[in-house]
Structure 1
Amino acid sequence: MRLIAPAVVLAFSFFVAPLAADAQQAGKSARIGYVHVNPVTSSPSPLRVAFIQGLRDFGWVEGSNLAIEIRSANGKPERLPALIADLLRLKVDVILAAEPVSAAAAKRATAAVPIVFMIGGDPVAGGLVASLARPGGNLTGCAGMEPELAGKRLELLKEIVPRLTRVAFVTNPSSPMNPPHVREAQKAATALGIRLQVVEVRDPDEFERALVVIAKDRPDALYVVGNPNLFSQRPRVLGLVERNRLPAIWSESTWVTEGGLIGYASNQPEMFRRGAWYVDRILRGAQPADLPVEQPTKFELRINLKTAKALGLTIPQSILGRADQAIE
């Protein structure tokens, strides 16, 4: 599915990558920090894999001319300042911040070290950059247009769920991107004749307690905003949603692959591959202030037909025809 983007939006497309040996021939070596909230897993996440592969495409090979210092807050954002301070002590050349809260913490910690962010919301409204075209300061990166997608996601729910009038909007108060997303969702809900119940959730424990409150209001569906703490415990969260038999739309496609009903989002691995381009440019001398923030122009619609059947929902052909993937 495609969304018409503003003129300032730049497509996620790679320029021709240099030869893999280029950086080594130039005699360069670098150290970068990769900081995120998600707990450490036994194998690298698909997003980190995409980022590292992107670096390789530009000639930066871990263990050869590149060291990557990975720091995880293990689901506790309050640990981020200490983790970032550790990266600064190591004198990293660039910090890759994998979520809005990580980017905000990195910005507070340093105005000197370049920071490349990967976020879903508006970095201007979130206070990370001065503008998309001219970021200013030491931050730039990729922004996924999450607030702008609120209306489209609510429209999809309205098409799928018969007589939908109430939606529980599960948001993450820890994220600096939260306020603009809530505003856009409320605006879209009013236009669509939907009552929006805003519920703040930081982690799976709060999500489980929140579902008790949500159930009393008897919503017709859930809209779950991106939250690294929920994402890191997807089986538990999906099980809770299934137990309550609530149709839900998600902000990342992975949820749908693992059992969520529907997802509408930018291609996140592509975002992280593009993040490697920013890191490469900075390591070669570019300033973050001169690298415009990029936003996607293509979005993926995924539907889990097995989940729809379990919920007694029939997905309209008009939506199936637009889906990038229908999981059976």
Structure 2
Amino acid sequence: MLKMRRRHFTPSLPGLTRQSILLCKKMDARVTSAFTRVFDALLPAHDGSTTSAPNLCRRAFITALAAAAAWPRLARAQQGAKVARIGYLMTGSLASPEARAMVDAFRQGLRERGYVEGQSIVIEYRSADGRIERFPQLANELASLNLDLILAPNTPAARAVQRATHTIPIVVPAMGDPVEDGLVASLARPGGNITGLTFLGPELVTKRLGLLKQALPNVSRVAALWQPGAFGERTTRDMLQATEAAARSLAIELQLVEVRGVDEFDRAFFAITGNRADALIVFPSTLLFTERKHIADLATKHRLPSIAQAREFAELGGLMGYGASLADLQRRSATYVDKILKGATPADLPVEQPTKFEFVINLKTAKALGLTIAESFQLLADEVIE
């Protein structure tokens, strides 16, 4: 029988990995073998009979064609799927443990969905270092990078990215009131290039004030730390008006103290203690959350019982925290990132609302402040830090 001389070759295609080259060699051998069978089938058998040649030829030829067609497809597959590139617009610095905790929660969510940073996904970080006035510049930088998606962790960041791009998908882990703030058309049908989760922060301020009064019945003068521009104008106005109304119903004198940057906290606490406040409520905001450890430390230093928007505040030394876990929202936002990278559009992904709110009391802080928290009140908490 005539035998073909088999010559193996190594493809010199750009971007092929060692695994790709090995696969190519295997496929080359299969294709060569299949075509050899075609030629063998066309030749007479040793007994001079050729009756089976047509059927053998047909089968061998089909095998050869299938192998030849599969070779480039398998070689391309071995080069690996496209590496996703996304942006992350941060309020604080990556050097800050508080900011890094939120980033780590998001990274955990990505890992749970099979992504490996630096391999299957690349993240471009941009940090405002606590100055939200830098968001527009940083948002424009990210929009110019031709990214697959941008993560904007909060409402001010989302509004900045929204102005920078109408085409790149935007995921927001912690929106206040996304409809009132103009980020989405509706929760069920966002309708644009933004989607994500809401933490219902502004709506829960009055609940926190009530918990503060319940824990400390003798409190009559409460300072409220807030950040102008944290939400849209209407959302902010509604939040302030609702809190003032709740304060009146609880016989509390409310003192509003604004903070616009990280360098204003000492001035703010000087004003709070000067007005002889009995306690402190921290309004929801990206700056105040990022600086939660700083605020908790100042509140303890000035002997002010405090309550803020999430368990993460109480974990770092605040007296109480009530609301949805913002670290959990960061982690869950990776679900939206995954869906969008797989082809979904933000316009069709409903905004998720929290269904669980956690109440955490820090008894170590209570002891440091010389406070006694009633056991009946402690029973209301999801967690008591002792």
TM-score (norm 2): 0.74
Q: Can you give the 5+ residue segments of structure 1 that lack an aligned partner in the other structure?
A: 1-22
Quote the offset at 1:252 in angstroms: 2.8
Match of 2:249 in 1: 191
Q: Matches of 1:171 and 1:63 in 2, distance apart?
A: 38
Quote the offset at 1:273 in angstroms: 1.8
Write the letter of the residue equivalent to 2:111: R
Write the letter of the residue equivalent to 1:325: E
Write the letter of the residue equivalent to 1:66: I
Quote the offset at 1:57 in angstroms: 2.2
Q: Matches of 1:197 and 1:125 in 2, distance apart?
A: 26
Q: Matches of 1:235 and 1:207 in 2, distance apart?
A: 12
Structure 1 pair 301–238 and aligned structure 2 pair: CA distance change class (3 A): same
Q: Matches of 1:42 and 1:198 in 2, distance apart?
A: 27
Structure 1 pair 221–282 and aligned structure 2 pair: CA distance change class (3 A): same
Q: Is the 8 A contact 2:89 2:139 kept in 1?
A: yes
Structure 1 pair 133–193 and aligned structure 2 pair: CA distance change class (3 A): farther
Write the letter of the residue equivalent to 2:123: I
Match of 2:239 in 1: 181
1:27-86: CA deviation from partner (whole Å, max 9, x where unpaired): 343111111111221667222122122122223222222111111111121222222222
Match of 2:227 in 1: 172
Q: Does 1:290 find its partner at 2:345?
A: no
Write the letter of the residue equivalent to 2:112: D
1:276 to 330, 334, 345: 334
Match of 2:94 in 1: 40
Quote the offset at 1:298 in angstroms: 0.7
Q: Is the 8 A contact 2:230 2:286 kept in 1?
A: no
**Which protein is bigger by CA-based radius of gyration?**
2
Match of 1:52 in 2: 107
1:3-48: CA deviation from partner (whole Å, max 9, x where unpaired): xxxxxxxxxxxxxxxxxxxx99983431111111112216672221
Q: Matches of 1:120 and 1:264 in 2, distance apart?
A: 16
> Any residues of structure 2 matched to 1:8-157 within 5 Å, and which?
27-41=81-95, 45-157=100-212
Q: Is the 8 A contact 1:98 1:118 kept in 2?
A: yes
1:93-146: CA deviation from partner (whole Å, max 9, x where unpaired): 111001221111111111111111122511112221121112111111111011
- Percent identity over paired residues: 49
Quote the offset at 1:234 in angstroms: 4.4
> Any residues of structure 2 matched to 1:214-253 within 5 Å, and which?
214-253=272-311
Give 3-state SS (helix, strand or coil) of 1:90's partner.
Answer: coil
Q: Is the 8 A contact 1:204 1:237 kept in 2?
A: no
Quote the offset at 1:268 in angstroms: 1.8
Write the letter of the residue equivalent to 1:30: A
Q: Is the 8 A contact 1:202 1:227 kept in 2?
A: no
**Aligned Cα RMSD in Å?**
2.2
Structure 1 pair 180–289 and aligned structure 2 pair: CA distance change class (3 A): farther
Match of 2:381 in 1: 323
Give 3-state SS (helix, strand or coil) of 2:366's partner.
Answer: helix
Q: Which has the higher contact order (CA 8 A, sep 6+)?
A: 1
Q: Matches of 1:216 and 1:56 in 2, distance apart?
A: 48
Q: Is the 8 A contact 1:30 1:283 kept in 2?
A: yes
